[in-house]
Amino acid sequence: MSKPDKIVLKDVHKSFGPKAVLKGVNLSVPAGQSLVVIGGSGTGKSVMLKSVLGLIKPDAGEIMIDGENVLTMSRSERREVMTRFGMLFQGAALFDSLPVWENVAFGLIQGKGMDRKEAQEIAIEKLRRVGLSPDVGSLSPSELSGGMQKRVGLARAIAAEPEIIFFDEPTTGLDPIMADVINDLIVECVKDLGATTISITHDMASARKIADRIAMIYHGEIIWEGTRDEIDRSGNDYVDQFIHGRAQGPIQMEVLKP
């Protein structure tokens, strides 16, 4: 029998009160592939990612990791599955109270119970992997530039050599050149690990660089999916409007007129 895809979402629904945010999301990511989900603000990208991470419980549907539905697992089974995930949060989400190396090593020490000395060595090696010298390890995150903080976030995401990595707006707040440096690092690190990834972004330059496939979410549904080369000839007016950043088109922004 052929192996199931690494990550599969089947008909995932989630509402908050009367507001339906996910209205039947279907996605499938084969092992070793990178999927980028694009879509406007408030379309449900974060809710989708949080559902896979177990931070939000969908109302209906299935989320399968390696063919197993994580929504019906016990807490301890689910916790075990989550140890195979890495995550780069929007804004890097570093703890200012800890030195950089300890931020990188956090999951190794807290999650895996690794000895501090060994975890520190791995953290320094991962910092080097993302182009930061060992002396950065002893600084506080608040002493770093935004680009350096993203690198530290990336080092933390790859520290435990996860099979699956999620990137939430990995280039937000960076200048275009630093954004490209981070995109290159993401591609290299993911390739080193052979990881399967889902990223969410508004940044088309980033999507084109890091995606094998791109999916567009609109009003809680995947309205288009294809390879990154197909996106320029999708034949879909919503996709065209989004990738060209036009105010005019089928996507109407909910903006109150003055």
Ligand X SMILES: Nc1ncnc2c1ncn2[C@@H]1O[C@H](COP(=O)(O)OP(=O)(O)OP(=O)(O)O)[C@@H](O)[C@H]1O
| Contacts with ligand X, residue ranges (CB under 6 A) | 16, 21, 39, 41-47
By CB atoms closer than 10 A (0-12, 13-18, 19+), residue 229 is: exposed
Q: Cβ 139 to ligand X, closest distance in Å?
A: 29
Which residue's CB is nearer to ligand X, number 43 or number 120? 43
Q: Cβ 124 to ligand X, closest distance in Å?
A: 33
Which residue's CB is nearer to ligand X, number 165 or number 193? 165
Which residue's CB is nearer to ligand X, number 17 or number 235? 17
Which residue's CB is nearer to ligand X, number 3 or number 19? 19
Residues 6+ apart with CB under 8 A from 99: 137, 138, 139, 140
Residues 6+ apart with CB under 8 A from 194: 32
Q: Cβ 86 to ligand X, closest distance in Å?
A: 19
Which residue's CB is nearer to ligand X, number 51 or number 120? 51
Q: Cβ 43 to ligand X, closest distance in Å?
A: 4
Q: Cβ 16 to ligand X, closest distance in Å?
A: 3
